[in-house]
Structure 1
């Protein structure tokens, strides 16, 4: 079942400091630069390391081709240029949140703003009951963002990390609709 979100690919979300916007073909160099940093890529499950411009261009071509038919939402995080990505996979009542930010922009609360904006927008859909996410053990910065927004640890699992080429311990998190609105008060 396709959600309304899947057929609104040009949607943007604005926060005080960042803009979430659809990806552009010109984002390839920024994606490659951000993901060629091992300190970024090591925390991501589905991203190879090293990461090249060719890989970024393949990703952008795939995303452009899928955008009209996919329920996955992928946004560039933009602050006078693309500085990271944020996405929701597996549309339906329990989508999965993922994100990364170029290291030069860490510690400035840009990702907190981006995640909060996408979470707020996602819960506008009455069919969404829970947003799932998680982090590899040791990724305290990302876990702190989720906890500030009300995500709770719901379990632990093992997930494959493509950049490291091995399975790693993963902390599974979730934010229910009720908890989200409780945290917004």
Structure 2
């Protein structure tokens, strides 16, 4: 969650940033970092610093992100490796480019800060050359890399369209919730999905779509539509381990739409991303999904128990894996 940084955050700010493993990667932060440093920073927040927010996870302060002349951020060490910068960075970058007059974005990282390099790459930034910044915490000039994100690249990373003989797979948009709600919330669909309810509340559907937006990397869901634009389902990819989901309107069942959509989806994803292995599962009482898994090329790897928000109790599932070679063997 993003919120304004306030005076009451001073103690948490000191606790998080008064760690050399954090401050060494920042240019203007001293080490040790004192309460007076925190007070001075909080009271200096103004338009010249751009927009700046505290990053919270639940009730815990995790770090800071800002955007103005550059995109800047840092996280407490306890928050590393959890995808927080990718999540909040997407929101901040989207808000920035939501202003049609906003300029291209700059950022930077020290060469040895591979975590920050990876986070910026996931946000769409590209390396445009080297530079040297002075690190107050290290009391040294440190080599770094300059990063750049153009509006055109940002827009391109929000577009994903696949066409088949009968279908168009496209990005989900906020206004799609009305068409998606009766599909995911159908009493024959929701119990086969992990996160849907029947009925599926409007707020849940909108939040689901917001999480499913395409941002140029795995972790998205596409709308499956007929050639005349009618939404008949969705197919997606994301999570750790990397897994897939799909749903088809029961009123359109029996026409091969799931196999057509999922097959085209994975052909495109294997071409675009370095996926390695994708896992999947279905509830044992969903034989239609079993047939689709087999047609796509998924390899059965075992069973287990799974949960759905639309089921009262865990239920048996069958687990699968898919690689590029397994998919190619079915084409």
Q: TM-score range by the shorter chain?
A: 0.7 to 0.9
1:155 correspondence with 2:129: yes
Aligned residue runs from structure 1 range 26-175, under 5 A: 26-63=8-45, 66=46, 69-70=47-48, 72-79=50-57, 80-89=59-68, 95-175=69-149
Q: Which runs of 4+ in 1 moved over 3 A?
A: none
CA shift, 1:162, in A, is: 0.9
The SS at the match of 2:157 is helix
The SS at the match of 1:47 is coil
The SS at the match of 1:59 is helix
- Per-residue CA deviations over 1:84-122 (Å, capped at 9, x if unaligned) read 000123xxxxx3011000000111101111111100110
Would the aligned equivalents of 1:149 and 1:183 in 2 still touch at CA under 8 Å? no
Partner of 2:154: 180
CA shift, 1:71, in A, is: 6.0
The SS at the match of 1:86 is strand
Q: Tell me, which stretches of 5 or more residues in structure 1 are unaligned?
A: 1-18, 90-94
Whose relative contact order is higher, 1 or 2, with alpha carbons under 8 Å and at least 6 apart?
A: 1
Partner of 1:4: none
Change over 3 Å in CA distance of 1:71–1:171 after alignment to 2: closer
The SS at the match of 1:170 is strand
CA shift, 1:70, in A, is: 3.9
Q: Which has the larger radius of gyration?
A: 2
CA distance in 2, matches of 1:26, 1:124: 31
CA shift, 1:74, in A, is: 1.1
CA shift, 1:181, in A, is: 1.3
CA distance in 2, matches of 1:70, 1:148: 27
CA distance in 2, matches of 1:183, 1:42: 32
The SS at the match of 1:184 is coil
- Per-residue CA deviations over 1:141-163 (Å, capped at 9, x if unaligned) read 11101111210001111111111
Q: Tell me, which stretches of 5 or more residues in structure 2 are unaligned?
A: 160-331
CA shift, 1:169, in A, is: 0.5
Partner of 1:5: none
The SS at the match of 1:108 is coil
CA shift, 1:61, in A, is: 1.6
Partner of 1:7: none
Partner of 2:165: none
The SS at the match of 2:14 is helix
Calculate the aligned-residue CA RMSD, in Å: 1.2
